[in-house]
Structure 1
Amino acid sequence: MKTQPPDDLPIYRILTGKDDASFCHRVSEALALGYQLYGSPAMTFNGTDTIVAQALVWGA
């Protein structure tokens, strides 16, 4: 495993967005790069859409 994330990405990331396939793909891509999930996802409703957040860490 690489010791640093690629493309100058940070060691800790939090992805947020509308709860849809695009968000799931973004999380999946981060996992494929070598990130690991950190904690449980968070969800809220903004009156129109469900918004989700997922923290990720590199090489935990």
Structure 2
Amino acid sequence: MKLYRFLTGVDDSSFCHRVTDALNKGWELHGSPSLTFDPVLGKTYCGQAVTKEVEGKDYDPSIKLGEQ
């Protein structure tokens, strides 16, 4: 079964650490990162899709993706 997550956050080191943590837990980058700028708040936000193959499980919407 393939799992999918879309990580988002402010463009700072904590976002990079979240992506790094996912990669070290076996998730793989899927596609290019995305960026958007909020002119009201003056902040840039990042998004990165990640996927992971998990064997022997059936999909259930209650799966806690961050714990996989």
Fold match, TM over 0.5? Answer: yes
- 2:43 is aligned with what amino acid? D
Instruction: Give 1 or 2 for the bigger CA radius of gyration.
Output: 2
Relative to the length of structure 2, the TM-score reads: 0.70
In structure 1, the partner of 2:50 is 56
% same residue: 49
Q: Quick check: which one's helix share is greater? A: 1
Relative to the length of structure 1, the TM-score reads: 0.79
Q: Extract unaligned runs of 5+ from structure 2.
A: 54-68
1:28 aligns with 2:24: no
Q: What's the Cα RMSD here?
A: 1.5
Partner SS for 1:11: strand
Runs of 4+ in 1 over 4 A off after TM superposition: none
Q: How does 1:7-26 map to 2 (within 5 A)?
A: 11-26=3-18
Q: Extract unaligned runs of 5+ from structure 1.
A: 5-9
* Equivalenced residues, count: 51
